[in-house]
């Protein structure tokens, strides 16, 4: 792997051009870990409830 000081200015300019255009320049919402944990908990609870309902319907 090359060290950063071995990369030419031309290559750095090309990398900067690619990373500042297209998908790399899209503004994103800030990461919200509490919201992610809440959604993960909600999905887990929902799947658990569905599993219990299916179990009660099909297993006498």
Any idea which residue has 């179990």 for tokens? 55
pLDDT at 25: 67
Tokens of 13: 């300019």
Spatial CB neighbours of 24, under 8 Å, sequence gap ≥ 6: 18
Q: In whole angstroms, what is the distance from residue 48 CA to residue 56 CA?
A: 12
Q: What is the pLDDT of residue 15?
A: 85
**Boundaries of domain holding 23:** 4-58
pLDDT score for 23: 72
Note the pLDDT of residue 57. 93
Count how many domains the chain has: 1
Q: Is the pLDDT of residue 1 over 60?
A: no
- Using one digit for the tens of pLDDT, what is the confidence trace for 5-60? 677 888 888 888 887 777 766 778 899 999 999 999 999 999 999 999 999 999 87
């Amino acid at each position: 792997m090359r060290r950063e000081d071995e990369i030419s200015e031309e290559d750095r300019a090309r990398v900067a051009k690619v990373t500042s255009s297209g998908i790399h320049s899209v503004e994103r919402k800030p990461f919200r870990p509490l919201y992610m944990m809440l959604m993960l908990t909600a999905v887990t609870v929902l799947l658990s409830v569905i599993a219990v309902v299916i179990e009660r319907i099909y297993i006498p």
